[in-house]
């Protein structure tokens, strides 16, 4: 049977930490809590479960804190948890079975992360697999009978364990502020962070967030080192920012650039919103229809499902075509299930 170190980074989690640890502590062989500056009872609560509590001066970088927590682990595998997670009895039993039977050549175990849509941050799906259990020391092995080579890709096992994400608040303001600080500090966002920043904005950003992000993403559109996907993401953010600020010439510059590269549902929705606000309902319907049925989303799945379908229903209502309005409203409701 494998042994597991639980590694957590926390700050001001007194409201949820005990709930989390009560649900997983019995599965762990070692518990490591890294506190990044709590001024509530977080460390006092953690002390009821472990003596391995460390202070870490916050650097503004979550990876720094995660790496520090992992450096303190001593067991075969490391389980990474956030304080707002819960493992129910059914999934604790599945975890026990996994712990007893996991093959030692597995490097990473993925588990389902559920209840992701409740707080409308960067997620498009309510339940999806995430890496949660990591082999602490990875052994490199040779493979292939001839042309032998060291296996570089990790062996990943997709388990059926489901973790409930139960936050007490929305973290979007914190996350968007973190992206803004990286940019202010002159740190180049890699492709993953570029995508996550754009997703965070498009799914849950406020109008002021788009205006603040506009200089960064307008530069991305011109950046020859950005991929086609990154440029499309940047066009989505810039188009929204220009629509908010009523800079219509630039709005059409970004929408046409995006359409020329293949387009996406988000751009179609922006065009639909423009024509809806201009009271050209027939043209708005064309673009909302394209968003729902003729294109795919780049950032926000809802811009391919209920958002354009609801907008179509609103357009047809205003045009007095009630049967079409009812049909699209029903489709919008069905897309949320």
Q: What is the pLDDT of residues 234-271, one digit of tens each?
A: 999 999 999 999 999 999 999 999 999 999 999 999 99
What tokens appear for 63 in the block? 């990876």
Instruction: Please give the average per-residue pLDDT across 305-329, as a whole number.
Output: 95
Q: Is it true that 4-165 and 172-335 share their CATH fold?
A: no
Where does residue 106 fall: left (phi above 0), alpha (psi -120 to 50 degrees), or beta otherwise? beta
**Domain parsing of the chain, residue ranges:** 4-165, 172-335
Q: What confidence tens digit (pLDDT) does each residue in 39-66 have?
A: 999 999 999 999 999 999 998 888 999 9
Q: Which of 22-26, 169-173, 266-270 has the lowest average pLDDT?
A: 169-173
In eight-state DSSP terms, residue 83 is T
Neighbouring C-beta atoms of residue 154, cutoff 10 Å: 12
CATH number for the domain whose boundaries are 4-165: 3.90.550.10
Q: Which residues contact 249 (CB under 8 A, 6 or more apart)?
A: none
Q: For helices 228-244 and 265-277, what crossing angle results, to 10°? A: 20
Phi, psi values for residue 163, rounded to 5°: -105, 130
pTM of full prediction above 0.85: no
What is the fold of 172-335?
A: 1.25.40
Q: In the prediction, which pLDDT does 202 show?
A: 87
CA–CA dist 8, 73 (Å, integer): 11
pLDDT band at 119 (very low <50, low <70, confident <90, very high): low
| Contact in structure between 53 and 33 (CB atoms under 8 Å) | yes
Average pLDDT, the chain: 92
Sheet holding 30-35, edge to edge: 53-55, 30-35, 4-10, 77-80, 127-135, 108-114, 156-165, 85-86
- pLDDT of 76 above 70: yes
- pLDDT of 117 above 70: no
Q: Provide the pairing of β-strand 156-165 with 108-114.
A: parallel
């Amino acid at each position: 049977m494998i042994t597991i170190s639980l590694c957590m980074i926390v700050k001001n989690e007194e409201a949820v930490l005990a709930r989390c640890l009560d649900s997983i502590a019995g599965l762990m062989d070692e518990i490591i809590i890294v506190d990044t500056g709590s001024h509530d009872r977080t460390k006092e609560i953690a002390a009821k479960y472990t003596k391995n509590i460390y202070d870490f001066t916050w650097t503004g970088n979550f990876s720094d804190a995660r790496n520090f927590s992992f450096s303190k682990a001593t067991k075969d595998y490391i389980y990474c948890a956030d304080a707002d997670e819960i493992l129910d009895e059914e999934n604790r039993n599945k975890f026990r079975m996994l712990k007893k039977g996991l093959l030692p050549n597995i490097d990473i175990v993925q588990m389902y992360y559920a209840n992701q849509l409740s707080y409308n941050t960067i997620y498009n799906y309510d339940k999806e697999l995430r890496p949660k259990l990591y082999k602490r020391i990875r052994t490199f092995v040779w493979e292939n009978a001839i042309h032998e080579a060291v296996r570089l890709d990790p062996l990943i096992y997709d388990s059926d364990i489901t973790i409930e994400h139960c936050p007490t608040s929305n973290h979007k303001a914190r996350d968007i502020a973190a992206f803004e600080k990286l940019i202010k500090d002159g740190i180049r966002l890699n492709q993953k962070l570029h995508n996550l920043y754009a997703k965070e904005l498009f799914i849950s950003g406020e109008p002021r967030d788009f205006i603040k992000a506009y200089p960064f993403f307008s530069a991305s559109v011109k950046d020859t080192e950005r991929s086609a996907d990154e440029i499309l993401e940047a066009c989505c953010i810039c188009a929204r920012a220009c629509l908010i600020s009523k800079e219509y010439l630039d709005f059409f510059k970004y929408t046409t650039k995006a359409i020329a590269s293949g387009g996406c549902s988000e751009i179609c929705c922006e065009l639909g919103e423009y024509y809806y606000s201009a009271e050209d309902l027939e043209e708005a319907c064309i673009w909302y229809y394209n968003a729902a049925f003729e294109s795919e989303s780049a950032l926000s799945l809802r811009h391919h499902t209920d958002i354009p379908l609801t907008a179509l229903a609103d357009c047809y209502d205003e045009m007095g075509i009630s049967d079409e309005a009812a049909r699209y409203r029903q489709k919008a409701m069905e897309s949320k299930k």
